[in-house]
Structure formats: C-alpha cells, structure tokens
Structure 1
C-alpha cells in the first residue's frame, strides 16, 4: 500500500509542475503579444487580449 501512496503523490506533483509551466507559458504569451509592436502579432491576438481584459491600446 505504501508504494501506491508514494506513486500517487509523485504523479500529483508532476501534474502540478506541468500545470504551472503551462500557466507560465500562457501568461508569457499574453504579455509578449500585448507589448509587441508588430502589427501582425497585434491583430492576431487582439480579440484574445480584450477577452482577458488586457489593455492593448
């Protein structure tokens, strides 16, 4: 039984790490596109930024 508990805790930790990395990448993507000066990047992410209440202009 103890081996199962350790495996379960390890998979929970791995899942948390993956979730945090995904969240960090998502936040970075929103802020990188939010402050980009390229017209193409701005237009591609415009609606998403407004949906997330991120001011872009």
Structure 2
C-alpha cells in the first residue's frame, strides 16, 4: 500500500515542525503586547450604595 510509505511526507512533516519550533516560536515569543494589563487598586474604586427613594 503506497500510503504506508513514510518517505515523501515524513521529511516534510519533520521539517515543518523544526521550522515552527526553532524559527517561528522565538520570533512570536519576543513580540511585545501593546495593551498590557495593569493592576488596579481595589480600595480606590469603593462606591457608595444608592439611596432609593421608594425604599
């Protein structure tokens, strides 16, 4: 059966993973996030309860 012959596609599969692991992963890991999350002060955002007129 020809589909069990690993010769033509095994090399392409291994080389594509090598390109991904050794070339693309370090390039994408070095990208800077433009909107980095900031830590908010939880005590500064304390709100007062509303005084409902009908209660």
Larger radius of gyration: 2
Higher helix proportion (structure 1 or 2)? 1
Task: Work out which structure has the larger RCO, using CA pairs closer than 8 Å and 6 or more positions apart in sequence.
Answer: 1
TM-score past 0.5 threshold: no
TM-score by length of 1: 0.39
